[in-house]
């Protein structure tokens, strides 16, 4: 006879089977059916009570593997609850900002009114209070508005090193809806003119020390741009710039004319190297700037009382968005250093009473390489946030310098897969919830390493990587959701290449990061490598296509290929070029000059291999994967090898002794 609570028990069994297995997606539909049938049999066949039936179903669930999920919940619930709180906060703020057209300049104005006399930007140059930054950005906005610049126009910013005025310029331009293009000051020649053209710049604001570099590419700039110099410079007939110092001094400090700009519209462009080609102008919207800042600072437990030390380039996302964002959104004091100095790092933190600092992996390694000093632990830095920290030096770094939390994060400049390690899990670059993955839909998908094709099931849906299995990180794109949108690049074709269909379900779209990660059973992500033709070196993404183009243009040989190779003890991969030199007549000195003229230091190959012949694929492409595996080891490579001597700035023979010295750290690259 059926029990009196049979309908209730029936619903419990059905709910358990669906929720615990279908949503979690770690049990088969067969097991769902087993639990469904178990509940029905116990209630109808034996007349068991509701309580007994529920206990039996739970016991069976645990005995058949459900305990693994319960263990995951126990270990990750506090972490996920904290992230959920941040997500809800962002969702509510986003809704309000969209309804009221709140922009980043408006957020800063509100912050400045709250802390007018508080130090805002601090550097070797001096200090600007929040009120002074507001006034200077208003002067910049009023001047360029009077000069005829309007919403949607693009102005390129070319500043050498970090300057406290840098933020004031893009902030002032944003107040009138003008989009700043943040140019990497290391770029020269083709890459520099390409970036200016790709952004469709109408003007260029530059520091005097970049006048020669801009003069060299002036004829390659497509638009008839106006040049604005921020300081005093020698006469330059090519540029004939407007001198901004005197012009801004006459510009009023009151708010500029109101310009309606939406929360999801463009704030500025950040240039990033994609898998192929020259730098791409990635769109940073007001919404992206806000949620990247709030997400990182919230998980790092930062408040307006923090003083942040930022030595990273302000033209990049890490230093220019997350670091600067802590000042704009939270009201933190931001200490900016022109250029990173290992010897001054902790002294600066002590001098300016810094409580938070930014890093990339190389910075942590450089700091560990300095001789131990009493000042190593005399600072007040409680949290550092950044990316690229090697697992093998993680604890060593914290133990020596006494930093309680390392906020390692993953963030594709243009993407929607930003995530962070909130609890010092060594090696993890972030996480996704295993309890309710639909809340933040990012995942890893499998792909063929040789062809790059994404593996799909019989229904055409991408196959997700299992815990411990490498896969490319992707994020579901949800139109109309500011947190899930993919803003993309200025170039539409480049945007389309970063989108993959049918990832989570049929008909959806997802953003492709181009990065290979591994996820553990608790949902923590660990960085492995980059896909495609890009590698990371010295904290910068290097496009092999760009380097290959420069080499091919100069040497005019049929075959050359560029790739990244691992160097023991160093983060990222060092650039290496294999050049087919059948007649052994390559002029390395001439090639060196060409590379120095056209490429920033981080993109120049560290190693060169001259080969009489190289194996090719069926489509006559050099086998880059095989070459990368061989690396730069002269013990296994019979071709002539060379390395860039950092002291002489010339390529010199890479002997077995040199190889050993590089691996042991005696020779610094």
| Residues pairing with 386 in the sheet | 359, 408
Confidence of residue 49 (pLDDT cuts 50, 70, 90): low
pLDDT digits (tens, 9 = 90+) for 59-88: 665 666 667 878 888 999 999 999 999 999
Same domain, 645 and 553: yes
Question: Greater confidence, 41 or 280?
Answer: 280
Q: Average model confidence (pLDDT) for the chain?
A: 87
In this structure, are 657 and 540 located in the same domain? yes
Q: Are residues 540 and 403 in the same domain?
A: no
pLDDT of 10 reads 47
Number of domains in the chain: 3
643 three-state secondary structure:
strand
607 and 648 share one domain = yes
Question: The tokens of 178 are what?
Answer: 């003008």
Query: In this structure, what CATH number is given to the domain that contains residue 546?
Result: 3.30.300.30
DSSP state of 202: S
Place of tokens 């190389």: 362
Cα Rg of the chain (Å, integer): 28
Two structure tokens written together for 613: 């012949």
Are 93 and 141 in a shared domain? no
Q: Is 440 part of a structural domain of the chain?
A: no
Report d(CA 30, CA 36) in Å as an integer.
Answer: 10
Q: Which residue from 588, 615, 616, 581 is spatially nearest to 604, judged by alpha carbons?
A: 588
Yes or no: say if 527 and 77 are a contact pair by the CB < 8 Å rule: no
**Domain assignment of residue 659, yes or no:** yes
- Per-residue pLDDT tens digits for 186-236: 888 988 999 999 999 999 999 999 999 999 999 999 999 999 999 998 888
Choose between 12 and 392: higher pLDDT. Answer: 392
Q: What is the pLDDT of residues 300-329, one digit of tens each?
A: 999 999 999 999 999 999 999 999 999 999
User: Structural domain of residue 571, as residue ranges?
Assistant: 534-664
Do the domain assignments include residue 495?
no
Residue ending a domain, choose from 74, 97, 120: 97
> Model confidence over 117-143: pLDDT tens digits?
999 999 999 999 999 999 999 999 999
Report whether pLDDT(21) > 90.
no
Residues 209 and 323 in one domain: yes
> What is residue 513's DSSP assignment?
E
Residue-wise DSSP of 86-112: HHHHHHHHHHHHHHHT--HHHHHHHHH
Query: Is there a single domain that holds both residue 219 and residue 172?
Result: yes
∠ Cα 327 332 334 (to 5°): 65
Is pLDDT larger for residue 15 or for residue 237? 237
**CATH code, domain carrying 303:** 3.40.50.12780
Say if 508 falls within a structural domain: no
Average pLDDT over residues 10-29: 44
Say how many Å lie between the first and final Cα of the chain, rounded.
Answer: 81
Same domain, 314 and 395: yes
**Phi and psi at residue 363, to the nearest 5°:** -60, -45
Look at the block and give the residue holding tokens 């130090």.
119
Quick one: DSSP state of residue 329?
Answer: I
Residues 590 and 539 in one domain: yes
Contact 580, 591 (CB under 8 A): no
Strand 534-537 to 540-543 pairing = antiparallel
465 lies in a domain? no
Q: Does residue 65 belong to any structural domain of this protein?
A: yes
In the predicted structure, residue 22 carries a pLDDT above the cut 50: no
**pLDDT tens for residues 421-455?**
999 999 999 999 999 898 999 999 999 877 788 99
Cα separations (Å) of 511 from 133, 388, 417, 459, 563?
Answer: 36, 22, 8, 20, 24
Instruction: Among 362, 397, 431, give the residue marking a domain's end.
Output: 431
Q: Last residue of some domain: 398, 416, 431?
A: 431
Question: Is 32 within the bounds of a domain?
Answer: yes
Task: Please say whether the beta carbons of 504 and 510 come within 8 A.
Answer: yes
Residues 148 and 220 in one domain: yes
| Same domain, residue pair 92 and 141 | no
Of 467, 482, 499, 300, the C-alpha closest to 387 is: 300
Examine residue 500 and state whether it is found in any structural domain, yes or no. Answer: no
Q: Are 93 and 105 part of one and the same domain?
A: no
Angle between helices 391-401 and 361-369 (to 10 degrees): 50
How many CB atoms neighbour CB 533 within 10 A?
Answer: 23
């Amino acid at each position: 006879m059926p029990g009196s609570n049979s309908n209730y028990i029936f619903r419990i069994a059905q709910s358990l089977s669906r929720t615990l297995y279908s949503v979690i997606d770690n049990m088969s539909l067969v097991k769902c059916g087993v639990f469904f049938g178990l509940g029905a049999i116990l209630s109808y066949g034996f007349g068991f009570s509701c309580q007994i039936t529920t206990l039996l179903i739970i016991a069976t669930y645990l005995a058949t593997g459900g305990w693994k999920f319960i263990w995951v919940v126990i270990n990750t619930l506090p972490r996920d609850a904290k992230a959920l709180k941040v997500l809800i906060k962002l969702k509510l703020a986003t809704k309000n900002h969209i309804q009221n057209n709140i922009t980043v300049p408006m957020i800063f104005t509100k912050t400045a009114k709250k802390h007018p006399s508080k130090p805002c930007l601090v550097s070797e140059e001096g200090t600007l209070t929040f009120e002074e930054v507001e006034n200077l950005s208003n002067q910049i906005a009023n001047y360029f508005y009077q000069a005829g610049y309007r919403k949607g126009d693009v102005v390129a910013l070319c500043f050498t090193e970090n300057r406290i005025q840098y933020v004031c310029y893009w902030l002032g331009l944003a107040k009138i809806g003008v989009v700043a293009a943040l140019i990497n000051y290391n770029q020269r020649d083709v890459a520099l003119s390409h970036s200016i053209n790709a952004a469709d710049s109408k003007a260029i604001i530059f520091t005097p020390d970049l006048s020669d570099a801009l003069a060299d590419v002036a004829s390659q700039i497509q638009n008839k741009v106006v040049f604005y110099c921020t300081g005093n410079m020698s006469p330059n007939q090519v540029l004939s710039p407007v001198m901004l110092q005197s012009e801004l001094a006459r510009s009023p400090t009151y708010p500029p004319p109101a310009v309606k700009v939406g929360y999801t519209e463009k704030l500025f462009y950040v240039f990033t190297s994609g898998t192929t080609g020259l730098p791409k102008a990635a769109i940073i919207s007001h919404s992206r700037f806000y949620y990247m800042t709030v997400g990182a600072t919230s998980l790092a437990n930062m408040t307006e009382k923090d003083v942040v030390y930022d030595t990273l380039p302000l033209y990049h996302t890490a230093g220019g968005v997350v670091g600067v964002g802590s000042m704009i959104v939270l009201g933190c004091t931001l200490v900016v250093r022109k250029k990173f100095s290992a010897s001054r790092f902790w002294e600066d933190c002590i001098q300016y009473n810094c409580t938070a600092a930014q890093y990339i992996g190389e910075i942590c390694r450089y700091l560990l390489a300095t001789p131990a000093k009493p000042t190593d632990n005399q600072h007040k830095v409680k949290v550092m946030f950044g990316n690229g920290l090697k697992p093998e030096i993680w604890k060593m770094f914290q133990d020596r310098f006494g930093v309680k939390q390392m906020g390692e994060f993953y963030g594709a400049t243009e993407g929607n897969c930003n995530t962070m390690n909130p609890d010092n899990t060594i090696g993890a670059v972030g996480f996704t919830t295993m309890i309710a993955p639909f809340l933040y839909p990012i995942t890893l998908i499998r792909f063929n390493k040789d062809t790059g094709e994404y593996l799909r099931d019989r229904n055409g849906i991408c196959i997700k990587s299992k815990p411990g299995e490498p896969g490319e990180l992707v994020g579901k794109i949800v139109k109309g959701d500011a947190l899930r949108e993919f803003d993309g690049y200025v170039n539409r074709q480049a945007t389309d290449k970063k989108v993959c269909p049918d990832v989570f379900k049929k008909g959806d779209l997802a953003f492709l990061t181009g990065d290979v990660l591994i996820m553990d059973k608790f949902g923590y992500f660990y960085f492995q490598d980059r896909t495609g033709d890009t590698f990371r070196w010295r904290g910068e993404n290097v496009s092999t296509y760009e380097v290959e183009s420069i080499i091919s243009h100069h040497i005019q040989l049929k075959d050359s290929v560029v790739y990244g190779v691992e160097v023991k003890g160093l983060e990222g991969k060092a650039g290496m070029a294999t050049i087919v030199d059948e007649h052994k007549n390559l002029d390395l000195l001439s090639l060196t000059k060409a590379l120095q003229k056209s490429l920033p230091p981080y993109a120049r190959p560290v190693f060169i291999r001259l080969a009489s012949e190289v194996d090719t694929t069926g489509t006559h492409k050099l086998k880059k994967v095989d070459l990368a595996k061989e690396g730069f080891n002269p013990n296994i490579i019979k071709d002539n090898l060379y390395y860039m001597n950092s002291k002489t700035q010339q390529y010199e023979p890479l002997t077995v002794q040199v190889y050993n010295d590089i691996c042991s750290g005696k020779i610094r690259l």
